[in-house]
Amino acid sequence: MSKLGEFCTPCFARHKTKPAVHWCPSCEESLCSKCGSHHKVQTSTKSHQLNSLSDILMLPSVAMTISLTCKQHDMKLDVFCSDHSEPCCWKCLSENHSKCQQKGPLDKVVKNAKSSESFNTLVENVQDIIEITDNLRKKKKENYKQIESRKNEMEIQIKGFRKDVIKYMELFEKNLLENATQTFNVCQGEMQETYNNLNAFYKQCSDIDKRLTNMKTFASDLQTFLGARSLRNRVATIETGILGLRKQLGDYKLEFKSPLNIDNFKLNMASLKDIQIVRDEYKESFKFQKITHAQAMLQQTPRDVHEVIANNKADIDLVSRSRISEDLYNRFQNISLTPELKIQQKFVLSHTKDYININGCVILSNDDFLFTDYDNSSLIRYSNDGVKTRTIKLFSNPWGVCEVQNNTVAINYPAQSTIQILDISSSRTKVKTSFQTENICSAISYDSPNLVTVVRTTGIQIYDISGKLLNTVKIDFNDIRDIAIHSSKLYYTDWKRDEVVNCEMDGTICWRFKRQVLKCPNGLTVDYDGSVFVVGTSSGNILRISSDGSSAKEILRTEDFFKSPTGIYLQKEKRSYRSPRWASLSIRWLPDSGSAPFPERCLR
């Protein structure tokens, strides 16, 4: 639908400003009361239905944005192509839909749409979802109260545990002091006994020494000879006694059997400090699932049917045969699944250095490719057929890149805590804006008309393109490598925590995704339906995460094509129904690897 005018369209064309009161959906024009009367009687327009402008304003935005005119050819949309599920003009029909099998007049296709079974089913499904989500909301509120109550219980347990620890430590101290006293007494007794024996031996030998001196001075030779023999036996007895005390002659020490060290105690206590969240699986089925999934399959193109079946195989098996014909049901069971991504193109990045380090990638509005080379401080530009067109030298090492306007890009330089807006339309690059961030800027994205950045130790900061700070969002993160925006929500990868996070613009966490299959998540991009595509640098794969973060599917093992991927980009602005365009890339090339890295462009 064209934009509703405040004034009558025909009158405004004649430079008159009359307030509009009617809207003609066929002509897509606002009409005043006079022009509306003429509209009802003219031969070419008398069959048109005129609606009150106030009633039209009550239509939802999804209906307000629908136009009956082809945006590409400025012609009326007269034909509906069922193969692509889109209306088209006659020129589109000849150019893009000549090979399509199912197409017909648009007016016949939409006739009785309000009373059709599919519309009524949609209404029923919406009502079912309202009922289900309302019940789930109530359960979540109850669960929140339970969690809050459990938290209070844990606080009481923690305080009780502290008292038990203090009581135990007091008893432990008492026992330890008693044990020290008892051990000292035993040691003292052994040492005293040894000392007494040595003292006796000392006195005996002193007496023998005195006798030998007297014998030497006063005794005859015979007396000395016979007396010495007797004393020699006594000395031998003393020597034997001293040898018997060998084990008691060393120094005594008192030591703890296990070191009394607070670090050991802390280590044992550390295992008690973690409190985990246990998420029970929601096992109840939703009554809208079976019908909705079956209808979704009936409306998809062959390529999309594969994806639907792959993601919902269990639900398809449960679809009621009464709602789908036997023939269609059997066809769904026999469809063979094919990979979601296929290599469309690859090309080698030429290089002049021993090492090339590609981190950021973007597909420009004119379909050119742009890569950031961190180690060589440059931007590398390629045409969409893989021909290198330009190398742009930069003042420092770039990380991320995003397009803010046609041939105008924003780049973040982590080492310099700087963001630049560059005009790359000519051979001479022009710096339009350059500004500093509070700390290292590790990621950047563009959400028209503002830049969204990640600043270490600060959070997510939003700037306008002149460099004015508009807002700071405080979040808990470790090492964010990439950030994206979709439907007023933030998505980012935390490298060190191995997780992908979705949050509101105020930092409120919607969901966190962390699985063993994803290691060191780096680049990410978000599709129209909110699906998140993320590359795992260490796990060597690309995952597709559902819009609610509850599940994921590995859509590509990058080891089959390249190693250590870091970036991925979806050119949503140029996306067609069948073939959205992608760019994903590898970052590392070393001299002994034989060739430079090659980005891959894929089709789903």
Give the model confidence (pLDDT) of 416-443 as tens digits. 999 999 999 988 899 999 999 989 999 9
- pLDDT computed for residue 326 by the predictor: 40
Look-up of token digits 């339009």: 432
The confidence band for 5, taking pLDDT boundaries of 50, 70 and 90, is low
- End-to-end Cα distance, the chain: 31
- pLDDT computed for residue 343 by the predictor: 66
Cα separation values, 521 from 124, 414, 478, 493, Å = 40, 18, 12, 6
Residue 561 above 80 pLDDT? no
Query: Residues 579-600: what's their mean pLDDT?
Result: 38
pLDDT higher at 574 or 512: 512
Residue 173 above 80 pLDDT? yes
- The Cα 432–Cα 426 span in angstroms is 13
- Name residue 493's amino acid: T
Name the percent of the chain lying above pLDDT 70: 79
Query: Residues 169-196: what's their mean pLDDT?
Result: 91
Give SS3 for 45. coil
Residue 339 above 60 pLDDT? no
- pLDDT computed for residue 245 by the predictor: 85
Phi, psi of 586 (to 5 degrees): -105, 150
Closest CA to 343 of 573, 604, 526: 604
Query: Residues 264-273: what's their mean pLDDT?
Result: 75
Sheet harboring 356-363: ordered strands across? 388-393, 378-382, 369-373, 356-363, 588-589
Residue 230 above 70 pLDDT? yes
Query: Residues 332-354: what's their mean pLDDT?
Result: 50
Number of H helices, E strands in the chain: 13, 31
Range of lowest pLDDT (329-343, 459-473, 552-566): 329-343
Closest CA to 586 of 594, 597, 602: 597
For the residues of 337-370, what is the DSSP string, one character each?
A: P--S-EEEEE-PPP-SSS-EEEEEEEE-TTS-EE
Closest CA to 591 of 401, 356, 409: 356
Q: Per DSSP, what are the bridge partners of residue 553?
A: 544
- The Cα 160–Cα 155 span in angstroms is 9
Residue 573 above 60 pLDDT? no
The confidence band for 477, taking pLDDT boundaries of 50, 70 and 90, is confident
Look-up of token digits 């969690």: 147
Query: Residues 387-416: what's their mean pLDDT?
Result: 92
Range of lowest pLDDT (104-118, 346-360, 445-459, 573-587): 573-587
Structure tokens at 294: 């079956």
Closest CA to 604 of 517, 552, 527, 536: 527
Residue 470 above 90 pLDDT? yes
Query: Residues 298-304: what's their mean pLDDT?
Result: 38
- The Cα 326–Cα 322 span in angstroms is 8
- The Cα 281–Cα 286 span in angstroms is 14
- The Cα 235–Cα 226 span in angstroms is 15
Query: Residues 211-221: what's their mean pLDDT?
Result: 88
**CB-side neighbour CA atoms (13 Å) of 361:** 31
pLDDT 10s digits, 529-557: 899 999 998 888 899 999 999 999 988 88
Largest CA distance in the chain: 169
Look-up of token digits 């440059």: 378
Q: Are 585 and 358 in contact (CB under 8 A)?
A: yes
CB burial of 101-110 (b: ≥16 within 10 Å; e: otherwise) equals eebeebeeee
Q: Are strands 450-455 and 459-464 parallel, antiparallel or unpaired?
A: antiparallel
- Name residue 99's amino acid: K
Angle between helices 117-218 and 221-244 (to 10 degrees): 170
pLDDT higher at 68 or 176: 176
- The Cα 242–Cα 527 span in angstroms is 92
Range of lowest pLDDT (48-57, 341-350, 493-502, 512-521): 341-350
Name the percent of the chain lying above pLDDT 90: 31
**Residues near 58 by Cβ (< 8 Å), separated by ≥ 6?**
none
Query: Residues 169-190: what's their mean pLDDT?
Result: 92
Distance of CA 142 to the CA centre of its chain: 29
Residue 56 above 80 pLDDT? no
Residue 483 burial (10 A CB sphere; 0-12, 13-18, 19+): buried
Residue 327 above 60 pLDDT? no
Closest CA to 344 of 579, 1, 56, 124: 579
DSSP 578: S
- The Cα 360–Cα 441 span in angstroms is 14
Q: Chain-wide mean pLDDT for the chain?
A: 79
Range of lowest pLDDT (80-94, 117-131, 287-301, 345-359): 287-301
- pLDDT computed for residue 286 by the predictor: 65
DSSP 400: -
Indicate the helix (H) or strand (E) that contains 212.
helix 117-218
**How crowded is residue 166: how many other Cβ atoms within 10 Å of its Cβ?**
10
Residue 581 above 80 pLDDT? no
**Residues near 541 by Cβ (< 8 Å), separated by ≥ 6?**
517, 518, 535, 554, 556, 557, 558
Q: Are 368 and 389 in contact (CB under 8 A)?
A: yes
Range of lowest pLDDT (152-161, 517-526, 593-602): 593-602
Residue 394 above 60 pLDDT? yes
Range of lowest pLDDT (179-183, 222-226, 491-495): 222-226
pTM: 0.44
- pLDDT computed for residue 601 by the predictor: 40
